[in-house]
Amino acid sequence: MTTHIVQICNMAELREFVHVTICDHFQLQFGAFPMTEKILLRGGNPCGMYFCVHGPRAIRFTAIWETDRNQVLFYGPEGERIFKTQLVEAPELEFAAA
């Protein structure tokens, strides 16, 4: 499995990086398919972010940013891990308690 190292400064850059990376890898036109996200919680505390690009024919391409290891794991449409990216510094996770 391939590992890349990337410098990300904030959540906006992380969102764009994930969206562009998924679109490039799966040959999707950037901006043509929406991306959703959800904060992942462990014990009521944020521990990561789930990203999902909704591709053609209801195919989903996903990535998970693990805050503990500060890495982004990318998954194919069948749930197989295709590669990971190590972030140099962790962006601040935007979290509003309910």
Q: Is residue 98 part of a domain?
A: no
Q: Is residue 38 part of a domain?
A: yes
Confidence of residue 92 (pLDDT cuts 50, 70, 90): confident
Q: Is residue 95 part of a domain?
A: no
Q: Is residue 93 part of a domain?
A: no
Confidence of residue 1 (pLDDT cuts 50, 70, 90): low
Give the residue from 53, 49, 94, 39 showing the smallest Cα distance to 73: 49
pTM of the model: 0.87
Tally of domains in the chain: 1
- Pairwise CA distance, residues 17 & 15, whole Å: 6
Q: Is residue 7 part of a domain?
A: yes
| DSSP H helical ranges for the chain | 11-25
Q: Is residue 28 part of a domain?
A: yes
Q: Is residue 92 part of a domain?
A: no
User: Mind listing the pLDDT tens digit for each residue in 71-80?
Assistant: 999 999 999 9
Structural domain boundaries, residue 40? 2-87
CB neighbourhood size of 81 (10 A) = 11
Confidence of residue 30 (pLDDT cuts 50, 70, 90): confident
Q: Is residue 14 part of a domain?
A: yes
Q: What is the mean pLDDT of the chain?
A: 90
